[in-house]
Each structure stands twice: as C-alpha cells, then as structure tokens.
Amino acid sequence: MSIIDSLQWRYATKKFDPKKKISDADIATLKEAVRLTPSSYGFQLYKVIVVTDQKIKDKLYKKSYYQSQIRDCSHLFVFCSYKEVEGKHVDEFIHLMEQGRQQDDERGYMDKLKSKAKIIAYGTIAKTDLGRRDKDEALHWMKKQCYLAISQLMVTCADMKIDSCPFEGFNTEGYDRILELEDRNLTSTVLLPVGYRAEDDRHQYRSKVRKPLDRLFEDK
C-alpha cells in the first residue's frame, strides 16, 4: 500500500477501542520516527512524554474537556516544548554532533570544528530566530517545532495502520501540573493519542473532504 493510500485510510479517530493496545515493538518504531524528525538547527527543543498509566490518562481526560480519546487510547504522546532556551541545550547538541560525526573522513574536520563549535552555535542563536525574539516569540517558535514532530508521527502511524487524533483542545496548565512539568522548563503543547479505532466509530466511514489540487496549489 502506498503512502497516499495510507493517508486516505487515516482519519482523526473519534473513538478508540480501549481493549486494543499497540505492541512495544511498534511503539519503538513510532518513537524512532519522532526522533528522526527534522527541527530548526537540529536542536530538538522539545520533549515527548508517552503516557500509558490509566490513572494518569483519567486525570488528563478531565483536563481535555472529557474527550474520550485521551482516556481510551493505547498511548498518549504529549509534545512539550521548552519554555526558554538554555545553554545546556546547545551544549547537548554540540556533544551529539561531535559523537555522531566521527567518521574517518570527517575526523580532521571535526577536530578543527570542536574549538569553534560552541561559538558558532551560540552565535547562530544570537543572530537569528531565537536571539532576535522576545521570550513570547521564542516560545512560539519552539512550540512550532512540536508540530513538525507530531506531523511525522501521524504519517508514520498511518503507514503502520495505527490510528491517531491530533489534539489542541486541552488545558495546558492542568497538563503541566499533572505531568509535573512546571519546574522543568517545559510546557505541554500538542497531543497525539494513538491506538486502534473502535468498530462503532462512525467517523471512519465518512468520505474524506479536502480541497481539490487546483484550489490548494498555485504554480508559478
């Protein structure tokens, strides 16, 4: 089945079957898809909390305006952006870059780069997106990174015939409190409950409505 067929198959699942659970192997694949998502400068300024504890899901359900997907899904992916960029985020990225690019043909280049990498990275922040924005603008910029990741996760779910439903309708303060994010420089941004559709979810039988290509795209 092609990726287009998979995207035709998916829909924003309104009712999950709480008895059907995603295997550990499939969850590992979904996590890897998120890990490989592109992000601005490669910094990945977010954390993803995967909730399976039913007691926690029940609490979050109440902070999601009692929408059943949160309570009945197999796994709940909570994408959390950092509220502020810290020096350790850049240091971590540089460390990972140094570790990941030690191929034989790049060792000499990386040895030269190490002494300048931190200056380059901090300079990038200071001179571009983050450095030129106030705190609220920077937070908005970081939250948008979560949407790149959730989009890739939804496509991967569709390709694996796993159902999902993107969520913005929840109380952020309530989520942050329940997930103990308030003192971790994190805030919940967007959700993706995943699992398997209930047979009686009538929404799965509805035709997908989208704009035709000639109204959506404009070629120059």
Domains of the chain and CATH, by start: 3-83+142-204 (3.40.109.10), 86-129 (no CATH)
Which pLDDT score, from 0 to 100, does residue 132 have? 56
- Position of tokens 């039988």? 205
What number of CA atoms fall less than 13 Å from residue 198's CA on the CB side? 14
Q: Name which residue leads in pLDDT, 103 or 44.
A: 44
Separation CA 190–CA 175 (nearest Å):
11
C-alpha dihedral sign at 10, 15, 19, 23: positive
Mean pLDDT over 137-143 rounds to: 87
Angle at alpha carbon of residue 11, lines to 6 and 17, rounded to 5°: 105
Q: Which residues contact 140 (CB under 8 A, 6 or more apart)?
A: none
Mean pLDDT over 128-135 rounds to: 58
Q: Is the pTM of this model over 0.85?
A: yes
- Of the chain, the percentage scoring pLDDT greater than 70 comes to 85
Tokens describing residue 43 = 């910094």
Query: Which long-range CB contacts under 8 A does 170-178 form with residues at least 24 apart?
Result: 170/60, 170/63, 170/64, 170/65, 170/70, 171/63, 171/64, 171/65, 174/60, 174/62, 174/63, 175/60, 175/63, 175/78, 178/56, 178/59, 178/60, 178/63
The residues with which 190 forms a beta bridge, in sequence order, are 79
The pLDDT of residue 171 is above 80: yes
Q: Name which residue leads in pLDDT, 114 or 87.
A: 87
The pLDDT of residue 46 is above 70: yes
- Residue 97, amino acid: M
C-alpha dihedral sign at 209, 144, 190, 36: positive
Question: In this structure, how many other beta carbons lie within 10 angstroms of the beta carbon of residue 42?
Answer: 9
CA distances to 27, 34, 99, 176, 198 from 43, rounded to whole Å, are 23, 13, 15, 22, 38
End-to-end CA distance of the chain: 32
- Residue 115's pLDDT band, with cuts at 50, 70 and 90, is very low
Which pLDDT score, from 0 to 100, does residue 91 have? 75
Helix, strand, coil abundance in the chain, percent, nearest 5: 50, 15, 35
Separation CA 178–CA 114 (nearest Å):
40
The pLDDT of residue 148 is above 70: yes
- Of the chain, the percentage scoring pLDDT greater than 90 comes to 70
